């Protein structure tokens, strides 16, 4: 039986629950979990002051319930197990996580999977800015794992991303893959301006109704049908990510860039 956690009431002051993870509570009693420290704004409080808890912590599955839009750092630094959020979530869902799975049935705020190292984050709604991105001043962002967002996301998706896969079913903001070091980003909606600016390596794919104009520092290479897209399509469908029927079988236009950074990055545009 999973550990069920329900927020008692919505608060206008953020709740930060960093450290409340499947692997950190699995050997604790329910009373011990209630006494764990969290932050309500700048005040340290007990977890049980704001959440009702039931179930079995040893199951290593957490189910969070209620309006959690003001609850931040869910699954941060997670190293195994499963977290399910039945509704919306706040900032930093799965930031710096290494293993395990996080499933959010609603929307999430900024920094989903910030500097993520591994595991799976699956958002069935929208997400905010800086998904899979580096923190300000950090040399790299996401270094592994998979982030799936069914809806739209904000700006700077995959900022300084190093490895891993991000797929977005909806629209994105500006600067997709800004300063990207490696990894794969797939967009199935519309995208904002300056995609791939400063990218060193990696792949950005645009498979929506239309692609954004590329910077003049990108060069067309060829038109072809890459086999890797069929493999990606199979894996994404296995993970229950919605895909257009044509994905994996249609030809694409390939561009190389950013030439300012050596031109080793790839941008794929469905044709």
pLDDT of residue 10: 82
CA-to-CA dists, residue 17 to 34, 46, 255, angstroms: 12, 10, 43
Return the pLDDT at 251: 93
- Burial bucket for residue 80 (CB in 10 Å: 0-12, 13-18, 19+): middle
For 59, the token pair is: 């199951």
As a whole number, the mean pLDDT across the chain is: 96
| Token code pair at residue 171 | 């629209």
**Assigned token pair, 82:** 């499963």
- Asked if residue 271 has pLDDT above 90, the reply is no
Q: Which of 120, 97, 118 is nearest to 238 (CA)?
A: 120
The bridge status of strand 3-7 relative to strand 51-55 is antiparallel
Contact 184, 177 (CB under 8 A): no
Q: Report, as an integer, the average pLDDT of 68-88.
A: 97
Q: What's the pLDDT score for residue 216?
A: 97
Q: What angle do CA 137, 140, 141 make, to 5 degrees?
A: 100
**What value does the mean pLDDT take over residues 192-215?**
96
* The predicted structure's pLDDT at residue 113: 98
Burial (CB count <10 Å: 0-12, 13-18, 19+), residue 65: middle
DSSP 82-97: EEEEES-B-S-TTTT-
pLDDT at residue 75 in the model: 98
Report pLDDT for 52.
97
Q: How far is CA 11 from the centre of its chain?
A: 25
Query: pLDDT (tens digit, 9 = 90+) per residue, 121-176?
Result: 999 999 999 999 999 999 999 999 999 999 999 999 999 999 999 999 999 999 99
């Amino acid at each position: 039986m999973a550990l069920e956690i329900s927020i008692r009431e919505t608060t206008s002051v953020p709740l930060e629950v960093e450290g409340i993870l499947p692997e950190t509570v699995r050997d604790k009693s329910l009373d011990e979990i209630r006494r764990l420290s969290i932050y309500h704004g700048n005040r340290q409080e007990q977890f049980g002051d704001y959440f009702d808890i039931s179930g079995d912590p040893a199951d290593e599955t957490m189910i969070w319930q209620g309006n959690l839009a003001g609850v931040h750092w869910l699954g941060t630094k997670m190293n195994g197990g499963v977290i399910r959020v039945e509704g919306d979530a706040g900032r930093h869902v799965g930031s710096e996580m290494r293993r395990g799975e996080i499933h959010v049935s609603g929307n999430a705020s900024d920094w989903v999977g910030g500097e993520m190292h591994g595991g799976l984050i699956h958002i069935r709604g929208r997400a905010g800015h800086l998904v899979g991105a580096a923190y300000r001043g950090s040399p790299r962002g996401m270094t592994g794992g998979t982030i799936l967002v069914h809806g739209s996301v904000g700006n700077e998706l995959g900022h300084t991303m190093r490895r891993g896969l991000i797929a977005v079913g909806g629209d994105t903001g500006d600067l997709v893959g800004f300063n990207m070091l490696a990894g794969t980003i797939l967009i199935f909606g519309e995208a904002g301006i300056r995609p791939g600016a400063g990218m060193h390596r990696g792949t950005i794919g645009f498979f929506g109704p239309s692609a954004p104009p590329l910077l003049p520092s990108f060069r067309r290479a060829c038109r072809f049908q890459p086999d890797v897209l069929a493999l990606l399509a199979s894996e994404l469908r296995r993970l229950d990510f919605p895909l257009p029927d044509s994905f994996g079988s249609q030809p694409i236009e390939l561009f190389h860039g950013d030439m300012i950074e050596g031109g080793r990055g790839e941008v794929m545009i469905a044709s």
